[in-house]
Amino acid sequence: MSSPAAKNAQSKFARYRADKKKQGLKLLRIWVPDVNAPGFAEEAARQAAIINAAPDHEEVMAFIERATADLDLPPYEWGPEGPPPAWDPSLDNETKPR
């Protein structure tokens, strides 16, 4: 038999989901890459290097900027460390496009 705390937590979540549905929202669960997984940073850097070296890089980035210009997005909170330094692919032989 479930404890009262478990039932309360379950009903609290059920109420939360019902409230979100009333707001016209739908629960969506997806799998996303684990940024802490071994090899993630290396693979991300490898893919970024490929994109940065592409002949149409500037055109693609301009398209992305235009496509997202009208979005009302809050500024990204980088945290106390601030944004990461600019990546210079010439300094990293391991992540140059293959």
CA-closest candidate to residue 87, choices 54, 39, 40, 48: 48
What is the pTM (predicted TM-score) of this model?
A: 0.44
Return the axis-axis angle of helices 57-68 and 40-53, rounded to nearest 10°.
110
Q: With 50 as the cut, is the pLDDT of residue 2 above it?
A: yes
The answer to whether 92 and 48 have CB atoms below 8 angstroms apart is no
Of all helices (H) and strands (E), which one includes residue 42? helix 40-53
Please write the tens of the pLDDT for every residue from 50-61: 988 999 988 988
Q: Mean pLDDT: which of 18-22, 49-53, 77-81 is highest?
A: 18-22
CA-closest candidate to residue 46, choices 74, 80, 75, 87: 87
Q: Which residues contact 92 (CB under 8 A, 6 or more apart)?
A: 45
Mean pLDDT of 33-50: 92
Q: With 70 as the cut, is the pLDDT of residue 75 above it?
A: yes
